[in-house]
Structure 1
Amino acid sequence: MKLIFFANTDWYLYNFCVSTAVRLRKDGHEVVMLSPPGPFGDRFAAHGFRWIQLSMDRASLNPLREAATLSRLVAILRKEQPDLLHNYTMKCVVYGALTARIARVPAVVNAVAGMGYVFTSDALKARMLRPLVKTLMRMTLNDHRSLLILQNPDDVMAFTDADLILPDRIRLIRGTGVDTMVFQPAVPPLHRDGRLRVLLAARLLWEKGIQEFADAAALLRQWGHDVECLLAGSPDPGNPHSVPQEQVRQWVDQGLIRWLGHVDDMPGLLNTVHVMVLPSYYREGVPKSLLEGAASGLALITTDRPGCREVVSKDGVDGLHAEAQSALSLAKCIARLDGDRGLLEQLSVRARQKVLREFDERAVIQKTIDVYGELTAPYADASASRSTS
């Protein structure tokens, strides 16, 4: 079987889809990566995957430009003739599902991790796009040859309540999982009596709680806590809510945070910190950074928001909940762990246990492959029947 993975950035494909592609190749299938140009695309070759570049502006509203993008995508699908197209991220889901019909792709899997900018922002542009996107989703998502993967029950309810898709076309798979063999607690364990090191690892979007993290660092300093606050991630120029690099450098100059930029060796970095925070007020799928932190045996602090609550479900049990958009609440959570190293240890152990129990990558990948099987088995059976007749 030949599959195409389509996303709006090569970064997304590289960080969230390579493990599934490797498993599929081991099973004898061909996987092709498809995305706009970017700095991560050349890395696919090192894993043995072909990469097709599609010129696409994530933020464009120009009808002529978008029509040209759709035309190029149809041409690629007709040339490649995949047995299954897996679309990731909102715009690619809409465009991929639409062009798959035109190109007669036999099976389509759509994956949406969180509701995204169009559905969560109150900006004029988002409000203008929302009715159009909803109409296109209703047109494309209910095809009998497609299924939609969502990552948390809140998104399932949001999609069905908005009548975007019939419930029987949805499959719930909680996140993309984490490789618990790669992300492991530090050996020997990181000393927990010294200076507390706290990490926020995310795309630099305001909704991820970047401002709240910097403000919490300022509060902790005022309160006399000797805490090192680290920020890993890069601005996302294609997103209207990206935090400007100049703002991040201002926080660095004020001594509030240490900015690491993009980090390739995340397992290594996570073995040098005690706490992973994600003060997100975004509608997440299931945040990868929280899963990686938990697998590495870090205590977690996040919000009780869709997606985040899948990882930290009970405050004080498998992590701490900070109030969304509250630097004060976030600072209090960090200060609590700084002052109670026993709780820090308990939450670290429980986080690792929960990931092993519920979010191991191998189980998540198998669930995804099972979804592929739901769609491709009828065509495989029909093909076999024709070949023997």
Structure 2
Amino acid sequence: MIKERKIILISCDSPRSLLDFRGKLIEALIVKHEVIIFTPKIEQEWIKNKLTGMAIKIYENGLNPSNVSIISDLKYLFELSKIIRLTKPDVFFPYTFKPVIYGVFVARLCKVNHITPMLTGLGYNFIDIGSRKSLIQKITRILLKLSLSASKRLHIIFQNQDDYNTLIRANIITKRNTAHVVNGSGVDLSYYQYSPPDLNNISFLMISRLINAKGIKEYYYAAKQIKESFPEIVFKLIGPYDDNIDAISAELYSKIKTDGTIQYIGLVDDVRPYISQCSVVVLPSYYGEGVPRCLLEGMAMGRAVITCNSVGCRETINPILQMENGFLIPIKDIKQLASKMEYYIRHTDEVTRFGVNGRKYAFEKFDVNKVNQAMVNILEGT
């Protein structure tokens, strides 16, 4: 007989992601199941209060997601094994790289019955970013192959088909693996509501951590190029400058903050007012995304987009003629990025049309309720 009510243990590398990216999923799970969370220390009290208010047990750890630390990583392994033995979960759901790689190892050893790791994009691990990082890439790939070896208990979740194909080609997983593809993390269309774009004051918005592979440099120099012909056009950038192996240079960061090309806003708790004020959302990323959340948020609010023809990003552009919602450009192509920006400046009617199409595409493909139903089915093993 199948056990109806299950204990589901979720492991992540960022407490903010629990509500920002998985909040609606957690709400769907607690209707029928007990949810336990294993997370790095929660600094924001409101996140902890929200989770405890949902009757969720929280266990904290000292995992550093961005850098390699043998001591903290080993401590994570040890603490997770203790939590699994203590809580005896029926389902283990880790997402992002370190929780997936380390967590699946531990869950296998502890004989968890249903292990459902989700890869929210492959990040740097399958792009060419230099010799120093390539060693980390090699280690990550080896660990990933060992962690994801085929098993009846293991069900891998991908956010786009490209990532699945990449791991097959790299021989990290095989056709023997049970794999599922869902449409990113989805977007809450009732929370990110449509608003008409300002066509009298065309402006561009990028939402991203300040790392090279997200296309920060390309956005900055395309903005600089546009301002030579259209000095009134506003460019905004939201996102933190954090400790990351691929953080932009101090020189570029200083220019962004001081030279007036871009209005740098930093990290914000709610992006909706900024999306509402902008005309077009831009993400020239070649990072190895799952499906970029910022683009889904922009689409949900009726914003035209510009993004790269790269993994995860290309998922957000409707390929059907007359239903296009934005432009795909080659990676690292500042000239093409500036060209598409200029197109929107000169064709303001397209800003509205693309934005309306984007909202429709978000309903059709990325509605968080549809995505979460698929996720619940996978986690429940149905």
- 2:88 pairs, out of 71, 81, 85, with 81
Partner of 1:344, secondary structure, is helix
Aligned to 2:160: 152
Structure 1 segment 95-174 matched on structure 2, within 5 A: 95-141=102-148, 142-167=150-175, 168-174=177-183
TM-aligned CA deviation for residue 93 of structure 1: 0.5
Aligned to 2:16: 11
Q: Residue 332 in 1 paired to residue 339 in 2?
A: yes
- 1:234 pairs, out of 230, 235, 240, with 240
TM-aligned CA deviation for residue 63 of structure 1: 4.3
Aligned to 1:217: 223
Aligned to 2:296: 291
Q: Is the 8 A contact 1:235 1:244 kept in 2?
A: no
- 1:321 pairs, out of 312, 328, 340, with 328
Q: Is the 8 A contact 2:126 2:288 kept in 1?
A: no
Aligned to 2:58: 51
Deviations for 1:306-353, whole angstroms, at most 9, x for unmatched residues? 111111144982211222112221111111101101111111111111
TM-aligned CA deviation for residue 243 of structure 1: 2.8
- 2:363 pairs, out of 356, 359, 384, with 356
Partner of 1:148, secondary structure, is strand
TM-aligned CA deviation for residue 160 of structure 1: 1.0
> For residues 204 and 318 of structure 1, what CA distance do their matches in structure 2 show?
25
> For residues 220 and 55 of structure 1, what CA distance do their matches in structure 2 show?
44
Aligned to 2:205: 199
Aligned to 1:181: 190
- 1:39 pairs, out of 27, 43, 46, with 43
Structure 1 segment 340-351 matched on structure 2, within 5 A: 340-351=347-358
Partner of 1:271, secondary structure, is helix
Number of matched pairs:
370
State the identity as a percent. 26
Partner of 1:39, secondary structure, is coil
Moved more, 52-61 or 353-362: 52-61
Partner of 2:155, secondary structure, is strand
Deviations for 1:78-132, whole angstroms, at most 9, x for unmatched residues? 1222221111111211100001112222211111122122332433343223343
> For residues 35 and 245 of structure 1, what CA distance do their matches in structure 2 show?
30
Q: Is the 8 A contact 2:197 2:351 kept in 1?
A: no
Which runs of 4 or more aligned residues in structure 1 lie more than 6 Å from their structure 2 counterparts after TM superposition? none
Aligned to 2:3: none
> For residues 46 and 60 of structure 2, what CA distance do their matches in structure 1 show?
11
Q: Residue 30 in 1 paired to residue 34 in 2?
A: yes
- 2:286 pairs, out of 263, 276, 281, with 281
Q: How large is the RMSD of aligned CA atoms in angstroms?
A: 2.1
Structure 1 spans left out of the alignment, 5+ residues: 378-389
Aligned to 2:26: 21
In structure 2, relative to structure 1, the CA distance for the partners of 1:162 and 1:262 (3 Å cut) is: same
> For residues 208 and 28 of structure 2, what CA distance do their matches in structure 1 show?
26
Deviations for 1:281-306, whole angstroms, at most 9, x for unmatched residues? 12111111111100000011111111
Aligned to 1:380: none
> For residues 182 and 46 of structure 1, what CA distance do their matches in structure 2 show?
17
Letter of the 1:271 counterpart: S
TM-aligned CA deviation for residue 225 of structure 1: 4.7
In structure 2, relative to structure 1, the CA distance for the partners of 1:42 and 1:108 (3 Å cut) is: farther
In structure 2, relative to structure 1, the CA distance for the partners of 1:259 and 1:39 (3 Å cut) is: farther
In structure 2, relative to structure 1, the CA distance for the partners of 1:164 and 1:299 (3 Å cut) is: same
In structure 2, relative to structure 1, the CA distance for the partners of 1:94 and 1:267 (3 Å cut) is: same
> For residues 209 and 138 of structure 2, what CA distance do their matches in structure 1 show?
27
In structure 2, relative to structure 1, the CA distance for the partners of 1:269 and 1:65 (3 Å cut) is: closer
- 1:94 pairs, out of 101, 105, 121, with 101
Deviations for 1:337-378, whole angstroms, at most 9, x for unmatched residues? 01101111111111111111111000000000111122xx6x
> For residues 62 and 229 of structure 1, what CA distance do their matches in structure 2 show?
37
Deviations for 1:124-144, whole angstroms, at most 9, x for unmatched residues? 343223343333323332222
Structure 2 spans left out of the alignment, 5+ residues: 1-5
Partner of 2:369, secondary structure, is helix
Q: Is the 8 A contact 1:10 1:41 kept in 2?
A: no
> For residues 209 and 247 of structure 1, what CA distance do their matches in structure 2 show?
12
Moved more, 227-236 or 112-121: 112-121
